[in-house]
Chains A and B, each alone.
Chain A
Amino acid sequence: MLPVVSDTTVRTPREHPPLPSGPDELAAALTATGYLPDEGLATAAYLALVMHRPLFLEGEAGVGKTALAHALAELTGRPLYRLQCYEGLEASQALYDWDFGRQLLHLRAAEAAHAGTDTAALEASLYDRRFLLARPLLQALEDAPSVLLVDEVDRADDEFEAFLLEVLSDFTISVPELGTIRASTPPLVILTSNRTREVHDALKRRCLYHWLEHPGFDREVAILRSRLPQVTETLARDVARATARLRGLDLLKPPGIAEAMDWATALHTLGARELDPDRAARTLGAVLKYREDTERVHQLARGALFGGA
């Protein structure tokens, strides 16, 4: 299984909008893309942009860690490269790999054309850039300036962190047969983690650290309204209020923004203009993902939780 790579390999001249001149301007620009940051997150993203430091984002699942990278890519007009981490992720899947099959074909073709008298030249032509398969990290460096999203870095193993450290500290990758590849402009790097494992301190030290929390009521309503314009104001407010209450219930999996949006969409699809206990109970599967949680809420609620005001 190869890492997911966004499909932006075609190199077309791109226009880069000027960088925002401060956190407030960045916050406004992010809002325009549909991502509503709070003050801390806007400052974090701004500093990551101007200081060329990776941004290390931690927080509960579904608070918008990955979405930030997408919004920043859209905002800066840079391509987004995503490296999804998993246990056993190897350098050949994150950095580069040689295309052995094509190398072999090239060799055979050269043989057939009887061009293989100069072995040194033939060998050199084998390790050419065109036989190098770029993986997300290398792509992000070559296609600078870009946005690099290293998703769920806590899932990869320790060894992978060590070599990520190497790439992120000076933004170079050395290919023994080819030489060092350097980014003309350091990419904007976003690392996300769900804290399944404590990431090594050496890696954190090179990053800006930000802990993302669930949004407050007003911001959640604003997010729902801007992402789902078809949902009525009343429904958005009801969903935000109910979701906030669910978060306070000490559930196995407290709902994030993503779940709140799913829920609002589900309710809207059923034709709801506001949250009523019956529809809420029927669509609970959009917001609660554990049977224990659903049962608990059913017992507790019986109307009280989803009552409008």
Chain B
Amino acid sequence: MVLGFARTLRHAGVAASPDRVEAMLTATSHLDVLDATAVYWAGRLTLCACPDDLDRYDAAFAAYFAGEAPRRPATSSAPQQQLAESAPLQVDAGAGEERDDAPDLAARASADEVLRHRDVSQLSIAERDQLRRLFALLVPAAPMRRSRRRRPDARGGVDPARTVRRALRDGGEVTRLAHRRPRPRPRRVVLLVDVSGSMSPYSDALLRFAHVAVRARPASTEVFTVGTRLTRLTRELRLRDPDRALAAVGTAVPDWSGGTRLGEVLQAFLDRWGRRGTARGAVVVICSDGWERGGAELLAEQMTRLHRLAHAVVWVNPHKGRDGYQPLTGGMQAALPSVDHFVAGHSLAAFEELTGVIARA
């Protein structure tokens, strides 16, 4: 009975691994097996692992045991992050017709140099292909912060534990002082990438940049897409191969090329992730053109909130790379007072610059 239920649950999307099922069996044996409520709790306590699992568990329980799950539906207090099953794939994953007319090295190098400064949205398919390879050359350096942890060092404060330990070795004589200094740790970097319609010429390049950043520092980088809703992409972007990672992103993001409700989505991000710690003390990079469908007041309010939480806020606007650009859109106007660094993000050279801005932030 339990095994059949576990199978139903796995179909519903709860990862009920064998050891969890075993735990459920043990739990049920401690409770009254004939009591539906007891079985419900035994399963819920052992098989679920996060709040998102709970609703799926309830549905599966109701379906399998044909009884009502004894729990009221989830309150609206925690906005649920939903993943769509399928979505139009913007990324032409590996449209690779490999051209073998390899030009000589010097010509290629100078072509690369030109390509670095070209606006991503103006490129032909072949040039884009070429540029993708150049993305691998980006080396994002992480911003650092001081941590409480210290490591042995030649200078710095005296390390009593190591000094005494060394003295013990020398028969209780303190011959030399050992020192220690705070160990710098990478600061968290959070990328919020706008995938709305107006940003679609750049979203491929921005997500590739995000992929490079996540691959360089998997533990301290988080990526979300913003559009009409918030989607966390950190897990998808950890795949090694950029094209596979972007294909995974394509299926995970439900709101490609839709509208932008930047203010609302930013609020969702801050409520669910930001205030709890993801944005706290982090370098938050927002990649968007600032076209906002919702009210600019909400965006301004959420940006001030973000600015209070984050260590630094970087705004990347691809249009800033154009000559004569003025930040006139309502969203941009609302956001700029809370932005520490306002940079362009339209070409590979701009991305290189961006890595520098993030590292020094």
Tell whether A3 is near chain B: CB-to-CB under 8 Å: no
- Identify which of A47, A155, A196 gathers the most chain B CB atoms within 10 Å of its CB: A47
Tell whether, in the assembled complex, residue A23 and residue B45 are in contact, meaning their CB atoms are under 8 Å apart: no
What residue in chain A is nearest B32 (Cβ atoms)? A22
Could you tell me if B75 and A213 are in contact, using CB atoms closer than 8 angstroms? yes
Q: Is A219 an interface residue (CB 8 A)?
A: no
> Which residues of chain A are near B117, meaning CB under 8 Å?
none
The answer to whether B45 and A210 touch across the interface, beta carbons within 8 angstroms, is yes
A39-B37, A198-B50 given; A100·B17 CB < 8 A:
no
* Cβ contacts under 8 Å, B71 to chain A: 40
Hey, what's the 0/1 contact readout for B28-55 against A, CB within 8 Å counting as 1? 0011100001100110111011110010
For B30, list chain A residues within 8 Å (CB): 46-47, 50-51
Our pick among A23, A103, A214 for the contact of B168 (Cβ within 8 Å) is A103
CB-based nearest A residue for B219: A158
Is the Cβ of B49 less than 8 Å from the Cβ of A104?
Answer: no
Smallest CB–CB gap between B175 and chain A, Å?
13
Residue A60 is within 8 A (CB to CB) of chain B in the complex:
yes
CB-nearest residue of chain A to B19: A205
Q: Is A164 interfacial (CB 8 A cutoff)?
A: no
Taking CB atoms and an 8 Å cut-off, the chain A residues in 216-238 that contact chain B are: none
Tell me if B99 is interfacial: C-beta within 8 Å of chain A. Answer: no
A259 to chain B, nearest CB (A): 14
* B161 contacts chain A at the CB level, 8 A cutoff: yes
CA–CA, A213 and B147, complex, Å: 34
Residue in A47, A53, A88, A209 whose CB lies within 8 Å of B149: A88
Within 8 A of B (CB), among A25-68: 39-40, 43-44, 46-47, 50-51, 53, 58, 60
A44 partner residues in chain B, CB cutoff 8 A: 41, 45
Contacting pair A154 B277 (CB below 8 A): yes
CA distance A57 to B275 in the complex (A): 19
A193-212 at interface with B (beta carbon < 8 Å): 194-198, 201, 204-205, 208-211
A126→B168 contact, CB < 8 A: yes
In the complex, residue of chain A having the shortest beta-carbon distance to the beta carbon of B235: A198
Chain A window 272-292, contacts with chain B (Cβ cutoff 8 Å), 1 for yes, 0 for no: 000000000000000000001
Which residues of B are found within 8 Å of A247, using beta-carbon distances? 77
Q: Assess A103 versus B42: contact at CB under 8 Å? Given A39-B37, A197-B277, A209-B49.
A: no
A128 within 8 A of B: no
B148 at the interface (CB under 8 A from A): yes
Check if A87 is an interface residue, CB within 8 A of chain B: yes
Q: For residue A204, which residue of chain B has the nearest CB?
A: B49
B20 on interface, CB distance cutoff 8 Å: yes
Interface string of A250-266 (1 = CB under 8 A from B): 10101000000000000
Cα separation A225 to B75 with both chains bound (whole Å)? 25
- Count of A-B contacts with CB under 8 A? 108
- CB-contacts of A9-34 with B (<8 A): 22-23
* Number of chain B residues whose Cβ lies closer than 8 Å to a Cβ of chain A: 46
Query: Shortest Cβ distance from A69 into chain B, in angstroms?
Result: 17
Q: Which residues of B lie under 8 Å from residue A297 when comparing CB positions?
A: none
Number of interface residues of A (CB under 8 A): 50
Among A45-101, those with CB < 8 Å from B are 46-47, 50-51, 53, 58, 60, 86-88, 90, 92, 97, 100-101
Contacting residues of chain B (198-255) with chain A, CB-CB under 8 angstroms:
219
A198 cross-chain contacts in B, Cβ below 8 A? 50
- B27: nearest chain-A partner, CB-CB: A47
CB-based contact A104/B278 at 8 Å: no
Q: Which of B162-181 contact A (CB under 8 A)?
A: 164-165, 167-168, 171-172
The residue from A39, A107, A155, A197 contacting B172, defined by CB atoms under 8 A apart: A107
CB closest chain-A residue, reference B162: A100
Taking a contact as CB atoms under 8 Å apart, the answer to whether B41 and A39 are in contact is yes
Alpha-carbon distance A201/B280, docked complex (angstroms): 23
Contact residues, B75-132 vs A (CB, 8 A)? 75-77
Closest chain B residue to A103, Cβ basis: B168
Q: Is A108 at the interface (CB under 8 A from chain B)?
A: yes
Q: Contact between B38 and A23 (Cβ–Cβ < 8 Å)?
A: yes
Q: Which of A40, A103, A111, A195 is close to B44, meaning CB atoms less than 8 Å apart?
A: A40
How many Å from the CB of B36 to the closest CB on chain A?
A: 12
B161/A201 in contact, CB under 8 A: no
Quick one: closest A residue to B149, CB to CB? A88
Q: A51-B27, A100-B161, A100-B165 are contacts. A43–B41 as well, Cβ < 8 Å? A: yes
Chain B: minimal CB distance from A128 (Å): 14
A101 to B160 alpha-carbon distance, docked (Å): 9
- Bound-state CA distance A292–B305 (Å) is 10
16 further A-B contacts with Cβ under 8 Å, apart from A88-B148, A201-B49, are A39-B41, A43-B41, A46-B30, A47-B42, A47-B45, A86-B148, A92-B161, A100-B168, A104-B167, A104-B172, A196-B277, A197-B276, A205-B19, A214-B75, A247-B77, A252-B275
The 3 closest A-B CB pairs, nearest first, are A196-B277, A88-B148, A100-B164
12 contacts between A and B (CB under 8 A): A40-B45, A44-B45, A47-B27, A47-B42, A87-B147, A158-B219, A195-B51, A197-B276, A197-B278, A201-B49, A209-B46, A292-B301
* A residues apposed to B, CB below 8 Å: 22-23, 39-40, 43-44, 46-47, 50-51, 53, 58, 60, 86-88, 90, 92, 97, 100-101, 103-104, 107-108, 111, 126, 154-155, 158, 194-198, 201, 204-205, 208-211, 213-214, 247-248, 250, 252, 254, 292
Q: Which residues of chain B have a CB within 8 Å of any CB of chain A? A: 17, 19-20, 23, 26-27, 30-32, 37-38, 41-42, 44-46, 48-51, 54, 70-71, 75-77, 147-149, 160-161, 164-165, 167-168, 171-172, 219, 271, 275-278, 280, 301, 305
